[in-house]
Amino acid sequence: MTDAATAAFVRAIPKAELHVHIEGTIEPEHAFALAERNAVTLPWATAEALKDAYRFDDLQSFLDVYYQVTAVLTTVADFADIVTAYFDRAAAQGVRHVELFFDPQSHTGRGVPMSVVMDGLWSAVSRSVETHGLTSSLILCFLRDLGAEAAAETLREAEPYLDRIVGVGLDSAEAGHPPAAFHDVFAAAALFGLRRVAHAGEEGPPAYVVEALDALGAERIDHGVRALEDPALVARLAEERVPLTVCPLSNVRLRGVDSIAQHPLGRMLDAGLLVSVNSDDPAYFGGYVGDNMIALHDDPRYDLATLRVLAENSFRSAFLDDDTRTALVGEVHRHFERGVQGA
């Protein structure tokens, strides 16, 4: 196990978080506080009972819990509060830049206006440098299991707020919902100048990764671990330097792999892929991004030099201008120089 001093060093490595769902950062105690504030009844009696529900068999079993918890979010203040709480934890774990996913359909579908979602999130995101010393932006994700028509309607609803959104993504239940169905809405997003990312190759086959690249114009693939099953795809991802936002603790909790020791991240690095480490839904999966890196470091394959590459990759994969990217990679270098000097 990583000793306390090394764990503190790893947790503080400057990094970007590019794959985190804000609705997946609601800790159980916070969920119950919001439920009480908004007179919402959760299907669990206590926060401990909710934690006991975090025994997932697959992605869908997680989503069943996840969407029930999102019901506690009803006001502008609620959305602002969960972003602030996430930033508190992220800043303490070395995050210097975050591109935050949100799922408006999980709120508008139960009667919460898009304006409430956007105003709440933006009130915290717009002040992230001032309040937490980190830069942040928003990526609107479409729920793939609700279909392409619903996604197009969500993009129309979001049009008044496009100055607050850096990009669009595709998430939720992957199996049986191929990316190509969302070609038109992603093309429309591209015309608005939005960046495009997509969940693919988590539970879905490598072909979904190919579709995300070719049909959606995805500039970054979220998860992508099953890409390793297709050597031609691996070669393409390496040659084109397509970023892959990998979430180790999530993959373990959702039974995609049995343990960190079995996780394919090491093989992805060996194949020359541009991978970074992220937390996905940290309240549910056992840790934030720094915790993911510590879990990796507990495995001998992931020494400090490897963690340094992963941190640098996170900034190289982010939607940042070149000067900002260079400055943040420089922060990683200085962190490791200080660590060596203090050893």
Enzyme catalytic residues? 202
Could you tell me which residues are beta bridge partners of residue 274? 243
Residues 145, 148, 150, CA angle at the centre, nearest 5°? 80
The secondary structure of 134-156 as a DSSP string is -EEEEEEEEEGGG-HHHHHHHHH
Q: Compute the distance between CA of residue 332 and CA of residue 316 in angstroms, rounded to an integer.
A: 12
| Helix, strand, coil fractions of the chain, as percent rounded to 5 | 60, 15, 30
Is the Cβ–Cβ distance between 196 and 216 less than 8 Å? yes
Which helix (H) or strand (E) element contains residue 221? strand 220-223
Asked whether residue 21 is marked as a ligand-binding residue, the answer is yes
Phi, psi at 2, each rounded to 5°: -65, 130
How far from the centroid of its chain's Cα atoms is residue 312's Cα? 17
Q: Compute the distance between CA of residue 170 and CA of residue 193 in angstroms, rounded to an integer.
A: 17
Give the end-to-end CA distance of the chain in Å, rounded to a whole number.
Answer: 18
Asked whether residue 163 is marked as a ligand-binding residue, the answer is no
188, 263, 181, 283: which is closest to 223 by C-alpha? 263
Asked whether residue 19 is marked as a ligand-binding residue, the answer is yes
DSSP 3-state of 276: strand
DSSP 3-state of 319: coil
Token pair recorded at residue 334: 């200085």
Instruction: Point out the annotated binding site for Zn(2+).
Output: 19, 21, 199, 280
Instruction: Point out the annotated binding site.
Output: 19, 21, 199, 280-281
Instruction: Point out the annotated binding site for substrate.
Output: 281
